[in-house]
Amino acid sequence: MKTGWFSIHRKLEDDWVWKDKPFTKGQAWIDLILLANFEDAKVNLGNQIFTCKRGELMYSLDSLSGRWGWNKSKVRRFLKCLESDSKIDTLPNTKTTHLSILKYNDYQQERNADETQMKRKRNADETQTTPSNNTNKTNKLIIEQEEFDNFRKNYPSTKGGAEVEFTNFKKKHGNWKEILPKLLPSLEYQIKQRNKWPEDSHHRTWKNLRTWINQSCWDEEVPEPPKAQGLPFG
């Protein structure tokens, strides 16, 4: 068995090679690891608060189907296969698909002293320095911006560029770091709910992204369509 690991930057998701569909099973597995939370976060779905811990992700089957270029049945079978191989665990959730990557730290552990020492041996002529606080803050901001851009790319209506939308988000909401983990799961929930309505219903209409952000629409609950026959759709 091969040992050791290497990091994969989230920018890989923007590369044309990665975007080519349908995904292979290996690609889909790596994508799940990329989508998993790096740290614990609370998520609001339909006015219910869920905790999405480090190594966990909340994505609907529809969303994974779209990302991978698969039908929902294939996505469901693949997740069952991963679960049977002890790669993931499916957690109870009535709003969306909640997954936990087992042994997540084996794939996304932070640099440790042993790794740093090995680097020094391989690069004996280079001076190794401890990253400054400013560097750490910059790296965290990059990760946060990438998390926001992943949400932005999934937003189904008019939107601006990544930098413009992220700047507006931070400017409008002083607590944006608390809100950030909620955006994509809330969007997933709203997409699922809106798609239940007929195409001519106003419930299928989306605001542009800036308005959605400025009006804090991640807390918006989309109603269920009427089930009784003969009732008009609004």
d(CA 204, CA 207): 10
Which pLDDT score is estimated for 93? Answer: 87
Give the H/E segment covering residue 154: helix 133-154
Task: Give me the residues of the chain with pLDDT under 70, please.
Answer: 1-6, 109-137, 228-234
Question: What does the pLDDT look like over 116-153, one tens digit per residue?
Answer: 454 455 554 444 444 556 666 677 778 888 889 889 99
Q: Are the C-beta atoms of residues 112 and 118 closer than 8 Å to each other?
A: no
What is the rounded CA–CA span in Å between residue 200 and residue 234?
Answer: 9
Cα 73–Cα 206–Cα 14 angle in degrees, nearest 5? 60
Q: Is the pTM of this model over 0.75?
A: no
User: pLDDT (tens digit, 9 = 90+) per residue, 189-205?
Assistant: 999 899 999 988 888 89
Rounded Cα distance, 196 and 158, in Å: 21
89 in Cβ contact with 100 (< 8 Å) = yes
CB distance 196 to 204 below 8 Å: no
Instruction: Assess contact for 89 and 46: CB atoms under 8 A.
Output: no
The SS3 call for residue 198 is: coil
pLDDT at residue 105 in the model: 87
Query: Tell me, what's the pLDDT at 123?
Result: 52
CATH of domain 10-107: 1.10.10.10
Annotated domain spans of the chain:
10-107, 134-219
Q: Please tell me the chain's helix, strand, coil percentages from 3-state DSSP, rounded to the nearest 5.
A: 50, 10, 40
CA 133 to chain centre: 26
DSSP secondary structure code for residue 97 in this structure: -
